[in-house]
Structure 1
């Protein structure tokens, strides 16, 4: 009987979820809905230019470390030429459409 309970306890702990599902949510559903309604209100009551100013207020540009030269690819700027070929596929640059999120 103890073995069965031990197996049930272990199996109960093996909750297979993706890592994003294990992360705590930043906003509750009612907060998300409120934000959607507020955004819709802004879009319906202001000009496109004013809405863009409201939605982007406080944002700062991200610094780009890669420099593209005519003779070099982005990877060659981040790594030495021979190192870029040796990187596993996970660390190679991917198109934004293929990102896992």
Structure 2
């Protein structure tokens, strides 16, 4: 699933609008559709956050492994890239936790 926080926020917003308008005009079908769309947006937002967190965890671990391998082999040419990947992963995990 390619979850997007933008799409999730759009569905939550439109769901709230439909729920509110449906309630105001007495249209139970529209109101129910709005509640469902809002719930779908909530779920999609959680999936997007989890995907981005896991991507960050992967980058953090991959960067740490590359850095350790470089230290063992004495190869310092890729040290900065490994550190950058690890730091990027840490930041992405923090942002999505």
Same fold flag (TM > 0.5): no
Name whichever structure is richer in helix by fraction: 2
Higher relative contact order (CA 8 A, sep 6+): 2
User: Which of 1 and 2 has greater Rg?
Assistant: 1
